[in-house]
Amino acid sequence: MPEATDHDTRHIYTSKAILEALDEEMARDPEVLLIGEDIGVYGGAFGVTRGLYEKYGPTRIWETPISENSFVGMAVGAAMMGLKPVVEIMFMDFIALALDQILNSAGKLHYMYNGQVTVPMVIRTPGGAKGGYGPSHSQMLSNLFVGVPGIKVVAPSTPCQAKGLLKSAIRDPNPVLFIENKRLYPQRGLVPAEDYTLPLDRADVSAEGTDLTLIAYSGMVPVCLAVRKALATRGVSVEVVDLVSLQPLDTAAILASVRKTGRAVIVEEACRTGGVGAEVAALIAAEALDALEAPLRRVAAADVPIPSSIELEKAVLPGTEDVVRAVRDVMTW
């Protein structure tokens, strides 16, 4: 995170930070354009693009029919021709409709044409559950994309990260999947007023500790910070590592923290099987097994569709009690 004084930072919402990044990059570079459903006059399903249509008009804000495969393919072509499209997929669940364009075009064309073309595009999409949205509007599908070569994947957890990472993603010559979290849109945090970018391949140590490492990303980072605060009153010093970048993983930061504390719990909102947490666990097992004083533990969503019932949704998704239970288990070794 860039250093800043109290005089040049503001407390703003994550949604506002993303809007600022889009506005500033569109003003800076006329090749940047936005593509998606309801992102113009309506301002986006979550209001993230509100006001941009009035400012930049239909030549820079392309409103589309309900056809994700088509408009993501259109964005790939535009990127190959030198534009810098930022695509909004209204709910991350809908990204499955454009999987072929992402998997077989966006991530591969640079390699297939031996570097003669680049695909500088960003796909923004809100993932995660938000209180009863149901099985087709609540999924965190990060596990589908971390194994796709040629695609960078980032998942900010703070307004500062959201703005700096999105600006970097727009300027990057490669396709970037930018995972937002519905529950984080109304979260406030300090954001520098000046122009800044953040690296797309670095984790962030959100809080330092000595007894155990909690590794998380996106909406689970605030959960882990709350657990850390609660456990501090019981004499347990917890370090929280925010992955930020899911592809590539910041292996150095992960391993440094685990070697420091000797214990680790990996927390994610996505389903447990085949997730980012599995990759992190495999990394630790391969590179830092000798540093562990207790077995690794993983906390994740159950391998079931997200229920529409809010109470059932809570039972499926990981929460503070699940994380505390895993920490207690690890600390007893």
pLDDT on residue 124:
98
Q: Which two tokens stand for residue 13?
A: 């919402």
- What residues have CB less than 8 Å from 213, skipping those under 6 apart? 238, 239, 240, 241, 257, 258, 260, 261, 263, 264, 265
Q: Are 52 and 174 members of one domain? A: yes
pLDDT on residue 5:
46
pLDDT tens track for 71-87: 999 999 999 999 999 99
Looking at 146, 164, 192, which one is the last position of a domain? 192
Q: Are 156 and 41 members of one domain? A: yes
Q: Is residue 197 part of a domain?
A: no
The pLDDT of 286-308, averaged and rounded, is 97
**128 and 181 Cβ atoms separated by less than 8 Å:** yes
pLDDT tens track for 30-69: 999 999 999 999 999 999 999 999 999 999 999 999 999 9
pLDDT tens track for 91-103: 999 999 999 999 9
pLDDT on residue 108:
96
Q: Is residue 2 part of a domain?
A: no
Q: How far apart are CA 221 and CA 81, in angstroms?
A: 38
Report the CATH number that the domain containing residue 254 is assigned in CATH. 3.40.50.920
Q: Are 221 and 306 members of one domain? A: yes
The pLDDT of 132-161, averaged and rounded, is 96
Q: How far apart are CA 124 and CA 181, in angstroms?
A: 10
What's the N-to-C CA distance of the chain in angstroms?
Answer: 35
Q: Are 80 and 177 members of one domain? A: yes
The pLDDT of 159-176, averaged and rounded, is 98
What rounded mean pLDDT belongs to the chain?
95
In the chain, how many domains are there? 2
DSSP-derived pairing of the beta strands 61-63 and 32-36: parallel
Q: Are 142 and 29 members of one domain? A: yes
Query: How many percent of the chain have pLDDT more than 90?
Result: 96
pLDDT band at 160 (very low <50, low <70, confident <90, very high): very high
pLDDT on residue 3:
47
- Which residues carry out catalysis? 68, 137
Q: Is residue 198 part of a domain?
A: no
pLDDT at 314 over 80: yes
pLDDT tens track for 271-292: 999 989 999 999 999 999 999 9
Range of 56's domain? 9-192
pLDDT on residue 4:
46
pLDDT on residue 2:
53
pLDDT tens track for 174-207: 999 999 999 999 999 999 999 999 999 999 999 9
Q: Is residue 273 part of a domain?
A: yes
Q: Is residue 199 part of a domain?
A: no
Q: How far apart are CA 127 and CA 116, in angstroms?
A: 33
The pLDDT of 300-308, averaged and rounded, is 96
Q: Are 250 and 187 members of one domain? A: no
DSSP-derived pairing of the beta strands 188-192 and 9-13: antiparallel
Query: How many percent of the chain have pLDDT more than 70?
Result: 98
Looking at 192, 224, 241, which one is the last position of a domain? 192
pLDDT on residue 300:
97
Looking at 147, 167, 192, which one is the last position of a domain? 192
pLDDT at 8 over 90: no
